[in-house]
Amino acid sequence: MQMSVKHLPSPTNAAGERVVDGYCTQCKQTKSAKAFSCEWNRSKTRRKLRAWCRVCRAVYDREKRNDPVVRERIRQINREYYKTPQRRAQLARARKRYRKRCPEKLAARTAVQMAVRRGDLIYTGICVHCYKKRKTGFHHDDYSRPLDVVELCKACHKIADATVMLSTLPEGDER
């Protein structure tokens, strides 16, 4: 699938000149404009660099996310949002699109869930790739064989999915 990239104008200063370097007010360093995120001014006529570089902003955001008070507030907002009729309708539409787009995956996952309920498949909690005792899930190499699965931890499952995705790319397409 080819994605189109919308060309955005370069960040400019108040005089309308293109900005090449920026100054981070957090780490007090002058850096390339590429080290900063951009934002639009209120009238959406030009872009400008943010005051903090991406690294400083990421550190700040990470610390903020790990603050228990902020974390609980975000959870509360999300709980309230997920109860709204608009969000429920949005989720229903997403589920419907997924069912239409991936019927083979859905059938394979359902078959595995039923096999677990019947006792044909059992979670051991041990990853067959790294042999560590962790929370595991079943991985399909081929959705046309729904019960041919391996039990993987989250980290190994991510690697296995990426490997499968890369092996299905057309010849010569390297992403």
Q: Where are the domains of the chain?
A: 21-63, 103-167
What is the pTM assigned to this prediction?
A: 0.52
Q: What is the pLDDT along the chain (175 residues), one digit of tens a residue?
A: 444 444 555 566 556 666 667 788 888 888 887 888 877 666 666 667 788 888 998 998 888 888 899 889 989 999 999 899 999 999 999 999 999 999 999 999 999 999 999 999 998 999 998 888 989 999 998 899 999 999 999 999 988 888 776 665 555 555 4
DSSP string, 51-120: EEEHHHHHHHHHHHHH-HHHHHHHHHHHHHHHTSHHHHHHHHHHHHHHHHH-HHHHHHHHHHHHHHHHTS
